[in-house]
Amino acid sequence: MNNNALSASGIDIDALVKNMLSPECISNPYPVYKQLRAHAPVNGLLDYPPGTVPGVDTPYPAWVVTRYEDVDYVLRNPEIFSSEDPMQANSSAPSLMLVNHDRPRHTALRNLAKMAFTPKRIHDDIVDRLRIDIIKIIDAGVNSEMDFMVDVAGVIPALVMTYLMGLPREDYKLLVRWANAFMVSSDFTPEERQSCNVELFHYFVAKVEKRYSDIAAGVKVSDDLMTAFINAEYEGDVLSKEEVILFCITLVVAGAETTTYFIGNLMGVMLEDPTWFSKLKEDRSLIRPFMEECLRRDGPPQRLFRLVLQDCEISGQAIKAGDWIAFFMAAANHDESVFPEPEKFIIGRKNIAKHVTFGRGIHHCLGAPLARVEAEIMLNVILDKCDGIKGSLAASRRQSGGLLAYGFSTLPVELVAKKA
């Protein structure tokens, strides 16, 4: 659609939207968001939802929503903005549980997921094992240059998925690859992306089938999240086998890559301003506000899509039922009218809880506490085991494969071991 394009500020807004999928914009989209926030929503972004394959699937033109107030409106009104994703549904990708459901099925599924995904399970299955594994990873990596994205940030969330679902530890590498292919934010050929989607699906079909047959045969099975999904019952409702498979897949693709980028971005802030290392080391109560400001300023998930069910207006722009919108949480998190000096890293912002990195409303991120636990353990282990960090952001590179996530593709650092 032509948005009649030269704006009052003289910016060619159509060209700006068209350019959003350029590697330059993906690796630093914030200046573009700033220009877009000066406008009501603009139509015409041809972008790819998770699971779809560039070069194979055809994107629908989406309205671009960037202001905090507008993003908040979309998040809070699921009856107007459906999470159904027709583009993903028509692709080779497995559809996602909860993420792509509307009420009332969403409520039933969320209640079932809550029966399985309890905080106690998160705590008991993860915290101690993860601390031990991170200590090993850091001990093995100190005092020589490592790529933090490969050696630490890429490993932690995928390991956690193996703990949660009772998978062999070594399979974490498979999970990393499949999650990266699904999230359309790394360099894969269309064929690789499609075959990753198929492999991911078949892997969990086999694992879940085996678990069902073990349970049926009376074999003692591990008390993990996969078993809990199978056994979850809420008011007489249970998950079908296919739903259990799709839940497992959803956890991997939703939890692995985003958390990897979050963990990487935390390290990025410590390289940007080396005083953070000693400040956090001396006062661990700063870790939580440090993480929250990183989630706001550098939150990995950039945008999500919704299908418009009713004619509506966003910032005065008429939007019609059947239209497709891309709303940018990351742009909202940089809205000057809510977060002054948004590019600055300022911990203790009074309204920091209002960042929308984990979404808001009924589709808020179920894994947010898990992401925070993983990041907090990682930071504490590094602060315990190290005296400092060497490295420069000049040697790093941000991923430029897809607009879904903001994060490093490579982040060379040297963790300096604590002197005995």
Residue 376 burial by CB count (10 A; 0-12/13-18/19+): exposed, middle or buried? middle
Instruction: Provide the H-helix boundaries in 321-399.
Output: 329-332, 368-385
One-letter amino acid of 169: R
List the one residue from 23, 31, 58, 76 that touches another protein (CB under 8 A). 76
| Residue-by-residue DSSP string for 213-279 | HHHHTT-----SHHHHHHH-EETTEE--HHHHHHHHHHHHHHHHHHHHHHHHHHHHHHHHSTHHHHH
Contact partners, residue 57, CB within 8 Å, separation at least 6: 48, 87, 90, 91
Name residues contacting another protein, limited to 248-307 (CB under 8 A): 288-289, 292
List the one residue from 2, 10, 283, 350 that touches another protein (CB under 8 A). 350
Name residues contacting another protein, limited to 11-50 (CB under 8 A): none
Distances (CA, A) of 116 to 94, 165, 278: 21, 11, 39
221 binds another protein (CB under 8 A): no
320 binds another protein (CB under 8 A): no
Residue placing its CB nearer to another protein in the complex, 256 or 287: 287
How many angstroms separate the CA atoms of 59 and 133, rounded?
41
**Count of Cβ atoms closer than 10 Å to residue 324 Cβ:** 21
Residue placing its CB nearer to another protein in the complex, 55 or 361: 361
The nearest distance, CB 118 to another protein, in angstroms, is: 6
The nearest distance, CB 106 to another protein, in angstroms, is: 10
Write out the two tokens for 37.
């926030």
365 binds another protein (CB under 8 A): yes
Query: Which residue stretch of 13-21, 107-115, 152-160, 252-260 sits at the interface with another protein (rule: CB under 8 A)?
Result: 107-115
104 binds another protein (CB under 8 A): no
List the one residue from 351, 384, 390, 395 that touches another protein (CB under 8 A). 351
Secondary structure letter of residue 153 according to DSSP? I
Residue placing its CB nearer to another protein in the complex, 188 or 358: 358
The nearest distance, CB 282 to another protein, in angstroms, is: 19
Residue placing its CB nearer to another protein in the complex, 115 or 150: 115
The nearest distance, CB 350 to another protein, in angstroms, is: 5
The nearest distance, CB 239 to another protein, in angstroms, is: 16
340 binds another protein (CB under 8 A): no
How many angstroms separate the CA atoms of 250 and 178, rounded?
12
CA angle 246, 251, 253 (to 5 degrees): 90
The nearest distance, CB 66 to another protein, in angstroms, is: 19
120 binds another protein (CB under 8 A): yes
How many angstroms separate the CA atoms of 18 and 326, rounded?
14
Query: Which residue stretch of 56-64, 72-80, 82-90, 224-232 sits at the interface with another protein (rule: CB under 8 A)?
Result: 72-80
List the one residue from 182, 204, 358, 406 that touches another protein (CB under 8 A). 358
Contact 234/112 with Cβ under 8 angstroms?
yes
Contact 369/377 with Cβ under 8 angstroms?
no
The nearest distance, CB 129 to another protein, in angstroms, is: 20
Q: Which residues bind another protein (CB under 8 A)?
A: 72, 75-76, 110-111, 114-115, 118-120, 288-289, 292, 350-354, 358, 360-362, 364-365, 368-369
